[in-house]
Structure 1
Amino acid sequence: MGSCKSSLNGLDKLREASQPLCFHPTTKGSQIQLDAAHRTASRADTFCDGIVFSNRPVQLGEKVVLRVLRTQPRWDGGLRVGFTSLDPSQMIPNHLPRFACPSLVLQGRTWASLLPNACEEQGTIVRFWLDHRGRVFFEINNEHRRLLFKGVPVQGPLWAVIDVYGQTKAVQLLDQYGDLQELPRELPCSFLPDEPAHGDRCHLPRSSMEKCTICYAHMANTLLYPCGHTDCCHCCVQRMLATDNRCPICRRDIKDVVRFSLWGTDLQAPIL
C-alpha cells in the first residue's frame, strides 16, 4: 500500500512539472495586469505592488526564465526574485504587501532578493533556480551563473515569486527549453497602461553604506510611501512622525513606512 501511494505521489509530481510555468492568474499585486496566457506581467502604475507568483511549484533545478519587456527610467531599483513555500492559491490577493523585499520576506516562508542593475535593461534574459542544497542561482543573458542567496528549505513545494519593481515595468515568462527568438521582445502598446502623470521619482538606495540624512549615525533603512525616498533610518523616521507626517526630502505626506535591509550584495563572484 505504501509503495502504491509513493508511486501515485511521483506521478502527481511528474504531471505537475509537465505543466507550463505561468503566472498565477489571481494572486498578484494590485498594479499587475496579466495577458490572456498568463505569461506576461505588466505593472500599471507607481513603483511597487507588482508581486507575482508561479502557477505551480517549481522543481529543484528547474530554471525560471524571464525576459524584461519594458522598463521605466523614472524609478530606481529593479527586479526581485525568489521562492516561497506559501501556496498562492491559498493567499488573499488584497492582503499582499507592496514589496517582496522586505515586506513579504519578513512575513516568513518567503526568500527573495534584488537582482543586479544589469537586469533593469529592456530585453535582458534572466534565469534563476534553486538547487537541492537550498541555494538560489541566477544568470543574466547566458553569462556565468552566480549565487544570489542561500538557506531556502527544500523539503516541500516552492513557488517562484517575482516582484516587477522599480524600473522593471513588464516581464515575460519563457519556456526554459523553448526558442527565445520566437517570442515577442516587446508588449503591444495596447496592452501596456499609460504612464503615471506625476513626475515623482523613487530614490532607492544604491548602496547599503548610505547614512541617514537626519542623524548621520545610522544607515538609511526606511522607505517612505508613496514618494519612495529612502534617506533616513527607522529611528529618525519614528521620531519625525510623532510631530510631522511629511517626507523631510520632498515634503509629501507619508502614508506608510517600510523598514528594509539589502540582500544579495555579494553578487560579483561567479560560482564555478
Structure 2
Amino acid sequence: MSFHEGVLGTQVCLSLGGRRVERNRETFQNGLTFSSRPVRVQEKIHLRVELCDQHWNGALRLGFTSIPPCSCGPLFPPAMAIPDLTTTYGYWASPVPSSLNMPGAELRFWVTHQGMLMYEAPNRVRYQLLKGVDVRSPLWAIIDVYGQTRAVLLLGSKKKRWNTRRSCSVPPPPSVSLCNFCLGLVIIMFFVVSVYLSYPVERDLVEDCAVCLSLRASVVLPCGHRCLCHCCAGRVTAEFGICPLCRLSIR
C-alpha cells in the first residue's frame, strides 16, 4: 500500500515510492492524503510518525471515504479533513490525541464490520474514534497530516486471516483387509450373543422360598425365576397360577 500520488494536499510531497508524506513546515494544513487503493474491512493500516512541529496545535486526523479520491475534481482536496470533508456524507474522520503522536510513534487504524473507526496507540491500547462508517461501498483511507504532525511513513497494512493449516496429518483410510477383519469380528459377536440369549436364564435367583421363607427355593418357574420350594410350588400353581415375583402366568 502507498499514498495516492494523484490526489494530494497542496503543501505535501511524497517520497520513498509513495510511502512517505511530508508537509511544508510553514503551515499546519493542506496536508490531506489518501490511500492508493480501497481498503478492506478489518485491514489495519500501519503508520509511523516521522516529524513533528510542537509550535502547531492539533495532530494527525485519520478516517475513511467511500468516494473515490480521483473523481472529485481539480479543486480537491480541501485544506483540512475536519470540517471540510466530514460535513459531506461519504467522509468519516477523527483527530488523534497529540500526546500519542510523537516522532517514532507507530499506530494502526482500521474500520470494523460494524462501521466503527478503530485506532491502536503505540502502547497497544485500542480506541474507538467514531462509528457510523458505511462499509457497504469500497473505502479509501484518509490521512490528514495536520497540526503538529509533519511527516508520516506508511509501513503497510495487514488483514487478519484464519489459519486453516492442519495441526497433524490426516490418518490414511483403513485397508480392505482390516475392514474385512472387523466385519468378521462383528458377525462372530452377534452369533455368540444370539446363542446365549436363546437359552433360558434364571433371573433374580432367590436363596429361600418366596412364600414360606424357610425352605430353599429349588423350583424354576416358566418365567425363569427360581423362587419356590417343592412344597409351595404346587400350592402357588394351583391356587394363584402366577409367579410371586413377576406376576407372569406359570400354568
Partner of 1:83: 64
Query: Which structure is larger by alpha-carbon Rg, 1 or 2?
Result: 2
Matched, 1:139 2:102: no
Cα distance, 1:58 vs. partner? 0.4
For structure 1, the residue ranges without an aligned partner over 5 or more in a row are 1-20, 178-272
Q: Counterpart of 1:25 in structure 2: which amino acid? A: E
**CA shift in 2, pair 1:157/1:84, >3 Å:** same
1:43 aligns with 2:57: no
Worse-matched range after superposition: 88-97 or 71-80: 88-97
- Relative to structure 2, which stretch is displaced further, 162-171 or 144-153? 144-153
Q: What do the CA deviations read for 1:188-211 (whole angstroms, capped 9, x no partner)?
A: xxxxxxxxxxxxxxxxxxxxxxxx
Deviations 1:171-229 (A, max 9, x none): 0101235xxxxxxxxxxxxxxxxxxxxxxxxxxxxxxxxxxxxxxxxxxxxxxxxxxxx
**Preserved contact between residue 60 and residue 129 of structure 1 (Cα < 8 Å):** yes
Question: SS of the counterpart of 2:103?
Answer: coil
Confirm or deny that 1:29 pairs with 2:9. yes
- Note if 1:114 corresponds to 2:106: no
Q: Distance in 2 between matches of 1:176 and 1:108?
A: 26
Q: TM-score, normalised by structure 2?
A: 0.60
Report the secondary structure of 2:100's partner residue.
helix
Whether contact under 8 Å (1:60, 1:130) holds in the other structure is: yes
Residues paired across the two proteins, number? 157
Q: Distance in 2 between matches of 1:57 and 1:111?
A: 15
Unaligned runs of 5+ in 2: 159-251
Between the aligned partners of 2:74 and 2:92, the Cα distance in structure 1 is 19
1:140 Cα offset (Å):
1.1
Could you tell me how far apart the structure 2 residues matched to 1:121 and 1:93 are? 33
Q: CA deviation at 1:118?
A: 2.3
Q: Shift of residue 36 of structure 1? A: 4.5
Change (3 A) 1:128 1:159: same
2:64 aligned partner, one-letter code: F
Between the two proteins, what is the percent identity of the paired residues?
A: 43
**Does the 8 Å contact 1:66/1:125 carry over to 2?**
yes
In angstroms, what is the RMSD of aligned CA positions? 1.3
DSSP 3-state at the match of 2:124: coil
Secondary structure of 1:118's aligned partner:
helix
Amino acid at match of 2:47: L
TM-score (norm 1): 0.56
The alpha-carbon deviation at position 107 of structure 1 amounts to: 2.6
Specify the code of the residue in structure 1 equivalent to 2:13. Q
Q: Kindly provide the CA deviation profile for residues 53-101 of structure 1, in whole angstroms up to 9, marking residues without a partner as x.
A: 0000100000011100000112010000000011012123533211101
Question: Structure 2 counterpart of 1:24, which letter?
Answer: H
The 1-side partners of 2:106 and 2:76 are apart by 30
1:27–1:92 contact (8 Å) kept in structure 2: no
Amino acid of the structure 1 residue aligned with 2:60 = L
- The separation in 1 between residues aligned to 2:29 and 2:100, in whole angstroms, is 17
1:141-180 to 2 correspondence within 5 Å? 141-176=122-157
Secondary structure of the corresponding residue to residue 83 of structure 2: helix
Deviation (angstroms), 1:126: 1.2
